[in-house]
Structure formats: structure tokens, C-alpha cells
Amino acid sequence: MFKNKKINFLAIGDLATDAFIKIKDAETKCDLHGEKCVLCLNFGGKIPYESVDVCDATGNASNVAIGASKLGLNASVLSYLGDDETAKRSMKVLKKEKVNTSYIKRVKNFVSNYHYVLWYKTDRTILTKHTEFPYSLPAKMKTPDWIYLTSLASNSLSYQEEIIGYLKNNKNISLVFQPGTYQIKLGVEKLKDIYENTKIFLCNFEEAQKVLNSNEENIPTLLKMIYNLGPKIVVITNNIRGAHAYDGKDVWFVGALPQTPVESTGAGDAFSSAFSSALILNKNIEDAMLWGAINARSVVSEIGPQKGLLTKEQLEKYFVNIPENLKAKKLN
């Protein structure tokens, strides 16, 4: 199916399976501003749960690739899986979603990533563990139009240096960077070349502060600080508070669209895949932000990060009916 097709969108990052465990005997405690919340459970006791929903082929790379595929791009994933039943199920999901799996390598004696999601009310806390796979780029690979680099394990620094070398030798490729936990921990200096070669950078508000090692709370200021690291377009999402973008000239804002959420996993990936896909399809930033907001609203209406992802036809149908007051706006 993909043999002779040009790859528009190559997502590089770890895959996982998520088990959503719905709990009710818990509580959250937050600071005076209703932020920095912690989930509290009865320590040492038995915690009843209501249900478990297992979602295969998750993780940032898979989520955004499936999102891009639904929006009409020829999407591929470059990743690693173990030699186990979890891997088989994930491969089946990706093929069903028309994502090219040619660059997914299954490694013997390794275990596929499996995450446990504690789902309480509409939010979640994720227990993660990244298997340290033997990362390397394939010897032969079709040159994609775009690379979407995201979450990798802690042993991935040399792999990311290899990716940068590949980008420098293929300057026609555009890079989207959505850093994961370990990439943020590595720090800006170690990933300096990645930031400087990034066309679109995406993260949430808390991640932006960690990237910059800053307590700055003004999002337009954070946008400009990250822009100064090299990316050409910077996007910061902020949960139900909406999202901001900056292109070196203008700051844009789109609010979260009205929706009663079921649970919030994957909202950021849904926004990011739709925003990036819109720009790849030659939409402007204003429309791309609304694409992101529409896709995120749909995803939080379902369990897991992928059930609510929209096709291009579905998204455009919502797009034309959005009231003027909910569209993205230029702030300056």
C-alpha cells in the first residue's frame, strides 16, 4: 500500500500501550490557585476501580501519526517495539489506521512500552516506563517532507544527534519538535541543534517552563523565549485555558472549544497533529489553531487519545460552523 508513496509525515518516537484504570475512591489537592494538583489515594489499602480500557499503539508519535493520516497525509512511524503480543496489537492498530509501519522494528528480548493511566474524574495521571531500545536510523529510508520528533527514552541522545545529522544532509525536510519528558530533562544545550533546526515547536505550559528552567507565567513571554532558541513557530497549549502561537511577528490565541470532557488523555497530541497537518496542507496559523482546537475537543469526548481523532472531512465540517467569537485571534 505504501511502497511507491511519498512520505509526507514521519513521526519519530516511542510507542506504547495505555491501560486506562478508572478510579473513584480518591481525591485531588491543589494550591490556592487551583493548580499544581496532586492525586491522593489511601496508602496501604485496596483501591477499587470501576473499569479498565486498553488502548494499543499510543504514545505521542503514534497519536500524531494516526491524526495526520486521518487528515489526509501519508503518515509513517519510525519506532521500536518488543517481540511480544503488545507489539502485535499495536502494529494491527497502525495498519488499520493507514499508517506506514515499514520503519517500526521489533526487537527480540525487549518488552514493548506499557503505561498505566489512573483515570479520575476527567483527568489522568500516567505511570510510564520507557524501554531503552537500541535506537538508530534505518540504513535505507525514503526522504519525508516533514519529521515529527517526540518522546524517546533516556538513552536517546546519540540517536537524536544522528537525526540532526540526517536533517542537515537533507535540508528540504522540515522538523516539528514536541519534546517528551527525557528530552526536556536533557536540557536545551544538549539539544541545541534540534531547537535551531525546528520549524514548529509544540509543548504545554508546564513543559515550556521546564524547557526554559523558568517560573515565568506569561505565555506570550514564554513563546518568545522559546522562539529565541531557534524554532520558527512556537505553540504552547494550556489545557482548558486554550493555546497560544507565535511566529516571530504575531501572537495568536484560541480558546478551548466548549465540551464536557470524558477524559483528557491525548488532547495535546490531537491539537498538535491537527495544527501541524494544517500547516503542511498550506493553511495559515489562524486556521491551524482552530483545527487543533476542534480535534482536541473531539478527542476528550472519548476514552483514550485516538478514538475521537477526526478525519479531514469531519474536521472541515466543524470548522465552517464555528462561531466567530470562538475562532483564533491575533493578540497584537
Mean of the per-residue pLDDT values of the chain: 94
Query: In this structure, what CATH number is given to the domain that contains residue 310?
Result: 3.40.1190.20
Q: Give a yes or no: residue 93 inside a domain.
A: yes
Looking at residue 3, its pLDDT comes to: 55
| Least confident stretch, 166-170, 228-232, 242-246, 257-261 | 257-261
Q: Give a yes or no: residue 151 inside a domain.
A: yes
**How many domains does one find in the chain?**
1
Q: Give a yes or no: residue 194 inside a domain.
A: yes
Handedness of CA 116, 119, 120, 122 (dihedral sign): positive
d(CA 190, CA 157): 8
Q: Give a yes or no: residue 258 inside a domain.
A: yes
Tens of pLDDT along 78-119? Answer: 999 999 999 999 999 999 999 999 999 999 999 999 999 998
Average of per-residue pLDDT across 13-22 = 95
Q: Give a yes or no: residue 70 inside a domain.
A: yes
Q: Give a yes or no: residue 27 inside a domain.
A: no
Share of the chain above pLDDT 90, in %: 82
Share of the chain above pLDDT 70, in %: 98
Cell numbers at 227, concatenated? 522562539
Q: Reply yes or no on whether the pLDDT at 178 is more than 70.
A: yes
Q: What is residue 247's three-state secondary structure?
A: coil
Q: Reply yes or no on whether the pLDDT at 4 is more than 70.
A: no
Q: Give a yes or no: residue 92 inside a domain.
A: yes
Residue range of the domain that includes 92: 9-14+58-112+131-330
**Residue 29 near residue 40, CB atoms below 8 Å:** yes
Looking at residue 276, its pLDDT comes to: 98
Q: CA distances (Å), 36 to each of 22, 28, 33, 193, 206, in order?
A: 21, 10, 8, 32, 10
Q: Give a yes or no: residue 2 inside a domain.
A: no
Average of per-residue pLDDT across 153-158 = 96
Average of per-residue pLDDT across 33-53 = 86
Looking at residue 272, its pLDDT comes to: 98
